[in-house]
């Protein structure tokens, strides 16, 4: 890690991802000099503890980025669209966690374990995009297999926790569960159906469906996979589902390969893969669950087995903490790569 201190701004600091970013910066001893916590006017004056001190949240303004080296940004897409280019123009490198910049061909979309070599592209616009949470954990698990046997097609079904909808999603599930157990009327405001003890085949909550029937979340997984893997020929079919789990996304992933790869060979590759923990012993009921993944930095993989319905195929179950590796941790890892190899000492 660099001995130099870097001035860091966290945009959306009071949100679930913003708070997780602060926790991870502290845990990993990121060399922060001046720390600026930025959010909307309704959060002005809020204090958040980070690095053993209380920091006051400031209102995000166009002049908020003077003297800032790195911006870790997790507001809404519209806010990022306005402010991330301003931060870059002021000389900061922005790691943006929203969907707004991900498919811009001049902006790198990065998972360090998969395509860290693309980070240098930030010089085009001063912005690096953080991928969708579901895409991140899936590709951390699939990249080692792709390098050996080349993936031709992916069929993925996700089981996404309510924390993917932010603190509001967590609160709505918790409130509904309490209301049900106390024989009170259940209300819903965020999700299109009751979330408690239910499964909703629709992520996100609003403006979900495209004309072809895919949701915007499913389309993100399709498009981002091709860009991050650098292979537009990979076919991806995704079904994204919200489940009544507080934190931790799960994915059932089926892949069709160009070359043979046994289940055991896949396990050996994943045992050695960066960012992966293999939990795969059905005889002892060892397999990953969201509870196992919550609070963990690694992507957990299990239930690996060969798919006999195609010439070369595998099934996997992939689980990750969507607030950590799926968002905050990936952003901080990108920032670490920046200061090690791209911004100098």
Mean pLDDT across the stretch 209-235? 96
Cα dihedral sign, 335-320-144-257: negative
Mean pLDDT of 89-100: 96
Tell whether 138 and 287 lie within a shared domain.
yes
Using the predicted structure, report yes or no on whether residue 127 has a pLDDT greater than 70: yes
Q: What is the DSSP letter of 327?
A: I
Is 133 an active-site residue?
Answer: yes
Predicted pLDDT at 76: 86
Q: How far is 16 from 323, CA to CA, in rounded Å?
A: 8
Residue 235 lies in a domain: yes
Whether 202 is catalytic: no
192 and 68 in one domain?
no
- Flag whether pLDDT at 182 surpasses 80: yes
Would residue 176 count as lying in a domain? yes
Q: Indicate whether 1 belongs to any domain.
A: no
How much is the pLDDT for 123?
A: 93
Percent of the chain with pLDDT over 70: 99
Give pLDDT, residue 47: 93
The residues that bridge with 156 in the sheet, in sequence order, are: 238, 253
303, β-bridge pairs: none
Q: Is 70 exceeded by the pLDDT of residue 1? A: no
Q: Is the pLDDT of residue 95 over 80?
A: yes
Report the pLDDT averaged over residues 296-304. Answer: 98
- Residue pair 257/313 in contact (Cβ under 8 Å)? The answer is yes
Are residues 234 and 152 both part of a single domain? yes
* CB neighbour list of residue 33: distance below 8 Å, 6 or more residues apart: 5, 6, 7, 8
Domain match, 195 and 75 both = no
104 and 202 together in one domain: no
Q: What is the average pLDDT score of the chain?
A: 95
State the pLDDT at residue 2: 56
Q: How many domains does the chain have?
A: 2
Q: Is the pLDDT of residue 160 over 80?
A: yes
Asked if pLDDT for residue 342 goes beyond 90, the answer is no
Say what the pTM is: 0.94
Q: Is residue 59 part of a domain?
A: yes
pLDDT class for 345, splitting at 50, 70, 90? low
Q: Is residue 254's pLDDT more than 80?
A: yes
Active-site residue identified among 100, 146, 240, 249: 249
CATH number of the structural domain spanning residue 218:
3.30.360.10
Per DSSP, which regions of the chain are E strands?
Answer: 6-11, 32-39, 47-50, 53-59, 70-73, 93-96, 127-129, 151-160, 235-242, 249-257, 276-278, 299-306, 313-320
Question: Residue range 49-63: average pLDDT?
Answer: 94
Average pLDDT over residues 195-224: 93
What domain range is 163 assigned to? 134-322
Check whether residue 13 and residue 105 sit in a common domain. Answer: yes
- Which pLDDT does position 3 carry in this prediction? 75
Instruction: Give the tens place of pLDDT for each residue, 191-208.
Output: 999 999 999 999 987 778
Q: Clarify whether residues 45 and 124 are in a common domain.
A: yes
3-state secondary structure of 1: coil
Residues 125 and 162 in one domain: no
State the Cα–Cα distance between residues 247 and 130, nearest whole angstrom: 19
- Residue with structure tokens 């790691």? 95
Q: Per-residue pLDDT for 158 more than 80?
A: yes
Q: Which of 55, 100, 133, 146 is catalytic?
A: 133
| 124 lies in the same domain as 147 | no
User: 30-42, pLDDT tens digit by residue?
Assistant: 999 999 999 999 8
């Amino acid at each position: 890690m660099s001995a130099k201190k870097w001035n860091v701004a966290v945009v959306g600091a009071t949100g679930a991802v913003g708070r997780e970013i602060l926790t991870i910066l502290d845990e990993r001893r990121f060399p922060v000099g001046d720390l600026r916590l930025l959010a909307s006017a309704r959060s002005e004056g809020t204090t958040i503890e980070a690095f053993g001190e209380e920091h006051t949240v400031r209102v995000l303004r166009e002049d908020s980025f003077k003297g800032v080296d790195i911006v870790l940004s997790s507001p809404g897409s519209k806010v990022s669209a306005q402010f991330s280019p301003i931060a870059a123009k002021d000389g900061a490198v922005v790691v943006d966690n929203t969907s707004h910049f991900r498919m811009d061909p001049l902006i790198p979309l990065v998972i360090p374990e998969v395509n860290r070599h693309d980070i240098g592209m930030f010089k085009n616009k001063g912005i690096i995009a953080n991928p969708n949470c579901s895409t991140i954990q899936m590709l951390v698990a699939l990249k080692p297999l792709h390098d050996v046997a080349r993936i031709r097609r992916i069929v993925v079904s996700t089981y996404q926790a309510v924390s993917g909808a932010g603190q509001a999603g967590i609160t709505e599930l918790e409130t509904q569960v309490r209301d049900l157990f106390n024989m009170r009327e259940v209300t819903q405001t965020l999700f299109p159906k009751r979330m408690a003890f239910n499964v909703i085949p629709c992520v996100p909550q609003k403006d979900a469906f495209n004309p072809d029937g895919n949701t915007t979340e499913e389309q993100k997984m399709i498009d981002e996979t091709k860009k991050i893997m650098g292979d537009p020929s990979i076919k991806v079919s995704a079904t994204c589902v919200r489940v009544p789990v507080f934190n931790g996304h799960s994915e059932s992933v089926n892949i069709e390969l160009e070359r043979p790869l046994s289940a055991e060979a896949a396990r050996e590759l994943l045992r050695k893969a960066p960012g992966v923990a293999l939990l795969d012993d059905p005889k002892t009921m060892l397999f990953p669950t969201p509870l196992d993944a919550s609070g963990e930095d690694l992507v957990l993989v299990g239930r690996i087995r060969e798919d006999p319905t195609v010439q070369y195929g595998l099934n996997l179950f992939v689980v990750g903490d969507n607030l950590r590796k799926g968002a905050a941790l990936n952003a901080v890892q990108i920032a670490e790569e920046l200061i090690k190899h791209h911004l100098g000492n």
